[in-house]
């Protein structure tokens, strides 16, 4: 049996159990799915270092826990900025040169598009919590979801926003 076929067989056999472990480690299903996908990719790349196929599940779970830990650490260190704060700072600037003013206009446009690219219901979740400043329970009630589901959506919305901004800023810098 080829290496790829054997890897596929091991994944089919163990992915559900590892996914359940990742849900517990990450705290929500969306992050667990992302972590499992990345863990599977890393496992495939490092398949040569697996010495015993019997330990595949534990090995994959260990890779996943490390990814989840890095993700949580990165998020805890990364300040969650709010677009409204940036927007207000941009609007308060009055003594700008024409070049600075044009640059700030491009920044505002970049921010606007980054928010617009977030798919629903995540965009509305982000709007209610971070832009409108609604208390989380009130925002969750307005979307008719549990507080846990709302927090999960908000986490994903913020993550999507960061990714959208990274893409926008990278394409902006290359122009």
User: Is the Cβ–Cβ distance between 31 and 64 less than 8 Å?
Assistant: no
As a whole number, the mean pLDDT across the chain is 81
* Whole-angstrom distance, CA of residue 100 vs CA of residue 14: 55
Query: Which tokens hold the place of 36?
Result: 């499992």
Q: Between helices 147-174 and 98-116, what is the axis angle to 10°?
A: 140
* Whole-angstrom distance, CA of residue 169 vs CA of residue 175: 10
Res 106: pLDDT: 75
Average pLDDT of 98-107?
Answer: 72
b/e burial code for range 19-33 (CB count within 10 A of at least 16 → b) = bebbbebbbbebbbe
Average pLDDT of 40-69?
Answer: 90
| pLDDT higher than threshold 50 for residue 84 | no
What residue ranges do the domains of the chain occupy? Answer: 3-77, 83-174
Tell me whether the omega of the peptide bond preceding residue 55 falls within 30 degrees of 0, making it cis: no
When mean pLDDT is compared across 44-48, 107-111, 161-165, 167-171, the lowest value belongs to: 167-171
Provide CATH code, domain 83-174: 1.10.10.10
Fold designation for 3-77: Rna Polymerase Sigma Factor; Chain: A (1.10.1740)
| pLDDT higher than threshold 80 for residue 167 | no
* Whole-angstrom distance, CA of residue 86 vs CA of residue 31: 27
Query: Which tokens hold the place of 84?
Result: 């409204």
When mean pLDDT is compared across 29-38, 98-107, 129-138, the lowest value belongs to: 98-107
């Amino acid at each position: 049996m080829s290496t790829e076929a054997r890897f596929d067989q091991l994944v089919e056999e163990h992915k559900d159990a590892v996914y359940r472990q990742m849900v517990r480690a990450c705290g929500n299903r969306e992050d667990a799915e992302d972590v499992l996908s990345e863990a599977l990719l890393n496992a495939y790349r490092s398949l040569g270092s697996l010495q015993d196929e019997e330990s595949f599940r534990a090995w994959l779970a260990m890779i996943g826990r490390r990814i989840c830990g890095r993700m949580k650490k990165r998020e805890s260190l990364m300040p969650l900025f709010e677009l409204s704060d940036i927007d207000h700072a941009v609007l308060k600037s009055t003594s700008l040169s024409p070049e600075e003013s044009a640059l700030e206009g491009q920044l505002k446009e970049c921010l606007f598009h980054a928010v617009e690219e977030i798919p629903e219901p995540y965009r509305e979740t982000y709007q209610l919590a971070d832009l409108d400043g609604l208390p989380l329970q009130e925002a969750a009630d307005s979307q008719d979801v549990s507080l846990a589901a709302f927090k999960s959506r908000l986490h994903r919305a913020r993550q999507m926003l960061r990714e959208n901004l990274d893409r926008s800023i990278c394409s902006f810098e290359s122009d």
